[in-house]
A and B are shown apart, each in its own frame.
Chain A
């Protein structure tokens, strides 16, 4: 995929006023992306396609979000925000509790907080040695 504009009605907490972002793949076929606010000086994030790291990850998107974003099995994608601590990329974690879910056709997206308690807000990307 190429760079795409995403619209998030509620933004990404606590940056609620930033509702327009550019999603750019870091490499042609993923699994890394950057998500940058279209407002200069706004927040920028790194995301992963969790399927490349956590094959068992199957987020259940609540129905109101499925409806609001007009998601189908063909147009839905879930990406996870990455946090990199001061110790570096080896200790990076992904937020599997609150993925960014998007409709790849329309660019409408939302950060969804999963409520079934199965996933961590900081899941290490790399297995602990």
Chain B
């Protein structure tokens, strides 16, 4: 866990190939520019958390055959 203070235009480098630049600060809003290899997934954290929460809810140990039938298109 690391806390750094940066001014507009300053950067943070993660490992060798990820660079975060403070592009602009306006009021309490910070615009960040992120350079990273294409295979590095970058998301607003609240989006990641929402998807992770939904995935966790979707993870089941087993689903009954009748529940599966209820999922079919047009099931009553």
Contacts and interface: CB of A to CB of B under 8 A. Distances in A.
Interface of A: 9-10, 12-15, 26, 31-32, 34, 43-46, 48, 52-53, 63-64, 67-68, 81-84, 88-90, 92, 95, 97-98, 111, 113, 121-122, 125-126
Given A46-B60, A64-B38, A68-B38, A90 B70 contact: yes
Given A45-B59, A64-B39, A84-B71, 13 more contacts: A14-B56, A31-B73, A32-B71, A45-B55, A46-B58, A46-B63, A48-B71, A64-B38, A95-B51, A95-B54, A98-B54, A113-B47, A113-B51
Given A67-B38, A83-B57, A52 B73 contact: yes
Contact of A122 (B52, B54, B56): B54
B55 A12 contact: yes
B71 A46 contact: yes
A89 B71 contact: yes
B26 interface: no
Contact of B67 (A88, A111, A113, A121): A88
Interface of B: 38-39, 41, 43, 47-48, 50-52, 54-63, 66-73, 75-76
A44 B60 contact: yes
B67 A89 contact: yes
B39 A53 contact: no
A34 to B, nearest CB: 8
Contacts of B59: 15, 43-45
Contact of B55 (A53, A81, A84): A81
Contacts of B41: 10, 113
